[in-house]
Amino acid sequence: MDGKIVLEPCRNLFAFSNFSDIDYNICNSALKLILKLILKLILGDIKHFAGSGKDNFEIRANDFNWSLRLSTKSEQLIASILQSYMADSKCVYLEITNNNTKTKTIHKDGKYRDILELDYHPLSFRQPDDNIRHTIISFFQNEIKFLDTLATIVFIGGECTLFGKVFSKIFSDKLENHSRQYFLTDFQSIYDDLQYNYSNLANIKLIDYKTCSLEWQKYTGGEGMCIIANTGYQGLGANLANELTHSQSKVIYIISCNETSLQKDFAILETHYLIDRKIEIKTNYSVWIYKLILQTGKLDINQ
């Protein structure tokens, strides 16, 4: 069953070099506010800002906090930003690169909090569109009847902390303080976030997707398992995709912003799995969810 969900953009992350590139219509309300405040600050001191060379901004914002990464040659802009936002408690991360001296300084380095009460590093990966993020959560909430029959959930990559928290709420009577959740990632920042947000550290692993060899029996305990993989732009890659074919997971969900790499991964996975559902979620970019079901009779004799 295929489907396409088209939504209005609601960006929580926006990067730009020229102010003419700013499109407030695609931003969430918190991001709009921060963009307007920074633009007002710069326009109020335009004589120092104009002609300073290429300036790069990256701003992330929600209703709780915001972060800024800035690269500029304007010493006055740096001074103005520091004077205006060092004392702002909602500004949890402030990174400025001085293009004159080629030095990067992190002036504030706090944790970023979201609506699920997760605390993570502001530079860790998160879906940059709130509507896509919320739609992915709703998708899994609608899968509850199927997932309720499975005892173990293995999260791989991407927004592991988000999905772990969502599933803890759905299956609070079964997961027993996250003991039946396992987390695998190849990013140090995501690994650090997981350790910060969860108490069962033995269930969190930092792996190399290109070389890992996974002992799936340690996760399943002989019971039903689900895998949720949130891949990067390059996808799972041949090694990890091959490892998943031997997992014996009854269902695998893959979330990706690159359907080309997703199809390459499925070319490996289809030896053991069939596509049950395929959904595209689209704002000003697209994310795909593939739900894969283990083929009848495809049991791994090595397990």
Q: Give this prediction's pTM.
A: 0.89
Contact 209, 238 (CB under 8 A): no
**Residue with token string 């199809």:** 263
- The answer on pLDDT for 135 being more than 50 is yes
Q: Mark whether 73 and 216 lie in a shared domain.
A: no
- Examine residue 1 and state whether it is found in any structural domain, yes or no: no
Residue type, 205: K
Where residue 93 falls among pLDDT bands split at 50, 70, 90? very high
- Examine residue 6 and state whether it is found in any structural domain, yes or no: no
Q: How many domains does the chain have?
A: 2
Q: Mark whether 216 and 253 lie in a shared domain.
A: yes
Q: Mark whether 146 and 282 lie in a shared domain.
A: yes
Where residue 243 falls among pLDDT bands split at 50, 70, 90? very high
Q: Which domain holds residue 89?
A: 13-110
- Examine residue 299 and state whether it is found in any structural domain, yes or no: no
Model pLDDT for residues 245-281, shown as the tens digit of each residue: 999 888 999 999 999 999 999 999 999 999 999 999 9
Q: Mark whether 102 and 222 lie in a shared domain.
A: no
Q: Mark whether 146 and 274 lie in a shared domain.
A: yes
CATH number at residue 194: 3.40.50.150
d(CA 95, CA 82): 10
- Examine residue 229 and state whether it is found in any structural domain, yes or no: yes
pLDDT at 223: 61
pLDDT at 51: 46
DSSP state for residue 174 in the 8-state scheme: T
d(CA 222, CA 216): 10
- Examine residue 57 and state whether it is found in any structural domain, yes or no: yes
Q: Mark whether 272 and 163 lie in a shared domain.
A: yes
Q: Mark whether 94 and 154 lie in a shared domain.
A: no
d(CA 172, CA 235): 31
- The answer on pLDDT for 301 being more than 60 is no
For 63-77, 151-165, 288-302, which range has the lowest pLDDT when averaged over its residues? 288-302
Q: Mark whether 220 and 100 lie in a shared domain.
A: no
d(CA 107, CA 94): 5
- Examine residue 301 and state whether it is found in any structural domain, yes or no: no
Mean pLDDT, residues 91-96 taken together: 97
Give percent above pLDDT 70 in the chain. Answer: 88
Q: Mark whether 149 and 103 lie in a shared domain.
A: no
- The answer on pLDDT for 303 being more than 50 is no
Where residue 49 falls among pLDDT bands split at 50, 70, 90? low
Residue type, 44: G
- Examine residue 227 and state whether it is found in any structural domain, yes or no: yes
Residue ending a domain, among 110, 145, 179, is 110
Q: Mark whether 46 and 174 lie in a shared domain.
A: no
pLDDT at 161: 87
- Examine residue 8 and state whether it is found in any structural domain, yes or no: no
Q: Mark whether 84 and 140 lie in a shared domain.
A: no
Q: Mark whether 234 and 140 lie in a shared domain.
A: yes
